[in-house]
Amino acid sequence: MTAILRTSNMKELLKQNIRKHIVLSENETEEFCDLFEQKSIQKKGFLLREGEVCKFEGFVTKGLFRVYHIDQNGFEQILYFAVENWWITDIDSFCNETPSQLYIEALEDSEVLVITKINKEFSYANLPKIEKLFRVMTQKTHVALQRRMIDNLSKTAESRYIEFREKYPHIIQRLSNIQIAAYLGITNVFLSNIRKKIALKK
Amino acid sequence: MTAILRTSNMKELLKQNIRKHIVLSENETEEFCDLFEQKSIQKKGFLLREGEVCKFEGFVTKGLFRVYHIDQNGFEQILYFAVENWWITDIDSFCNETPSQLYIEALEDSEVLVITKINKEFSYANLPKIEKLFRVMTQKTHVALQRRMIDNLSKTAESRYIEFREKYPHIIQRLSNIQIAAYLGITNVFLSNIRKKIALKK
DNA sequence: CGAAAACATTAAACTAGTTTAATAAATTAG
DNA sequence: CTAATTTATTAAACTAGTTTAATGTTTTCG
């Protein structure tokens, strides 16, 4: 009983999120959201590992994930974090059905609503507005990545850190400095130097 | 007469490009392509400047553009190049109708087919498959940018240069080293060192 | 609770990439 | 065709960020 109530609360989050992007009737929303299935992932558990084909798109209702890549030298680069109300997938692997180069790992005990590729394709065919939903969402994600690309090319690690702190204060407090450094594209040693320098300025 | 023939050749390129992404009837293709208008931009001319709202989406049929940002220190970062068969816009400014942070400049005498935001919205409403077209295209662009982001975080300038040369040999030969360096995120002085180092290895 | 593991900080030597400036070569425009 | 501008190269001093390693702190978990 409790579990059922909790699941419907999570679907409520999803419905709210969809409404932020497009206008859908109550029936359409219901029909689409019914295609999602709830998954619990414990801290340090993986939703996806390198080499697997990503067969889902997920909507985080609880917890925190990191999406990262491990390079030839064994260093981790974090593409993005996903907390409540964020979507996660490896769009490259999902669209092209190729082995993923990414890991998606829970940094806290987490809950995700996932839709399979088959059900997503089904929605595209049956609910034309879902096509619009994902067009709009992909556009927004792309805009965010484009801004980050410009920042990475033009700003120092220090200002990237300061801006990340300002933009995501609620996320940063849930992250270790190791994770923050891997997102900023620097070592945790250098992040420590930056933090000291900032602290001294005050 | 010549001009008309040339325009229809360019529309042919556009039609071929659309077919690569989705399946459309001949009528639908025709109807959509008729919404595009041809524009000629001379070398060193601008399709968009910082501060302007980007009101178009463009398809390059001839020439070469660079899409770049100028940072606080006056340095240029190139987001991407666009040659024949590539699309160009500032998706951020276009979608949000906010002033652009980007310049789009022709590096050669160029031709573009442009569609206005109004006509694009019109297509979304009247030709549902156009929604799919742009969802699919945005996904592909996003995948490419995501791969580039990972490369920029994990690889040295030297291997980024080598891989750029391998991936776009036909584009690189039309670019000065200054442009290539601005794309790789390094100075042209350092690019010169890299080129020397590579030449000595052989 | 206590041991082990993960995390944050500091220092010091190092390197990838920048800066400035000078020179030669190639393009462009009148 | 020639002058002016842009481009490519080189050198040398410099800096943002890395590497390695040591130390103390915090978190995890049996």
pLDDT band at A202 (very low <50, low <70, confident <90, very high): low
DSSP output for chain A: -HHHHHHHHHHHHHHHHHHHH----HHHHHHHHTT-EEEEE-TT-EEE-TTSB--EEEEEEESEEEEEEE-TTS-EEEEEEEETT-EE--HHHHHHT-B-SEEEEESSSEEEEEEEHHHHHHHHHH-HHHHHHHHHHHHHHHHHHHHHHHHHHHS-HHHHHHHHHHH-HHHHTTS-HHHHHHHHTS-HHHHHHHHHHHHHH-
- For chain A, the residues whose C-beta falls within 8 A of a C-beta of chain B are 69, 71-73, 75, 77, 79, 91-92, 95-96, 101, 124, 128, 131-132, 134-135, 138-143, 145-150, 152-155, 185
Chain A residues with beta carbon closer than 8 angstroms to that of B89: none
Q: What is the mean pLDDT of residues B44-70?
A: 96
Which of B128, B146, B150 is opposite residue A128, by nearest beta carbon? Answer: B128
What's the whole-number mean pLDDT along residues A147-153? 94
**What are the angstrom distances between the C-alpha of B160 and each of B167, B168, B172, B181?**
10, 12, 13, 10
Domains annotated on chain A, with CATH: 2-129 (2.60.120.10)
Residue A1's pLDDT is what? 41
Helix, strand, or coil here: B51? coil
CB-based contact A132:B183 (threshold 8 Å): no
Interchain CB distance below 8 Å, A142 and B141 = yes
Kindly report the nearest CA distance between residue B37 and chain A, in angstroms.
24
The string of pLDDT tens digits covering residues B71-100 is 988 999 999 999 999 999 999 999 999 999
Measure, in angstroms, how far nucleotide D19 C1' is from residue B23 CA: 53
Residues 6 or more apart whose CB falls under 8 angstroms from that of B117 comprise B55, B56, B57, B94, B97
**Where is B158: in which H helix or E strand?**
helix B157-167
Residue B189 CB lies within 7 Å of the nucleic strand C: yes
pLDDT at B1: 41
Instruction: For residue B23, list chain A residues with Cβ-Cβ distance below 8 A.
Output: none
Q: What pLDDT does residue A61 have? A: 96
Q: Which of A131, A137, A152 to mutate to test the interface with B (most CBs of B within 10 A)?
A: A131
Contact A142 B140 (CB under 8 A): no
Non-local CB neighbours of A8 within 8 Å, separated by 6+ positions: none
For the segment B119-134, what is each residue's pLDDT rounded down to a tens digit? 999 999 999 899 999 9
Nearest CA in chain A to B134: A135
Tell me the pLDDT band of B148, cut-offs 50, 70 and 90: very high
Nearest alpha-carbon partner for B184 in B155, B142, B141: B155
Separation in Å, CA of A2 to nearest CA in chain B: 38
Average pLDDT value for chain A:
94
- Number of neighbours of residue A197 by Cβ within 10 angstroms: 10
pLDDT in tens, A22-67: 999 999 999 999 999 999 999 999 999 999 999 999 999 999 999 9
CB-based contact A69 B101, cutoff 8 Å: no
* The pLDDT of residue A3: 47
Q: How far is B40 from chain A (nearest CA, A)?
A: 27
Calculate the angstrom distance between C1' of C19 and CA of B187. 10
Q: How confident is the model at residue A143 (pLDDT cuts 50, 70, 90)?
A: very high
Q: CA of B168 and C1' of D19: distance in angstroms?
A: 34
3-state secondary structure of B44: coil
Per residue in A55-109, pLDDT (tens digit) is 999 999 999 999 999 998 899 999 999 999 999 999 999 999 999 999 999 999 9
Tens of pLDDT along B149-184?
Answer: 999 999 999 999 999 999 999 999 999 999 999 999
Rounded mean pLDDT of A194-202?
88
- Counting residues of chain B whose pLDDT is more than 90, the rounded percentage is 91
Residue type at A87 in one-letter notation? W
Looking at every residue in chain B, the average pLDDT score rounds to 94
- The distance from CA B48 to its chain's CA centroid, rounded to whole angstroms, is 12
A–B interface: beta-carbon pairs under 8 A: 97
Q: What's the rounded Cα separation, in Å, for the pair B29 and B18?
A: 8
Alpha helix (H) residue ranges in B37-127: 91-96, 117-126
Give the best residue of B141, B146, B155, B183 to mutate against chain A (max A CB count within 10 A): B146
The pLDDT of residue B201 is 72
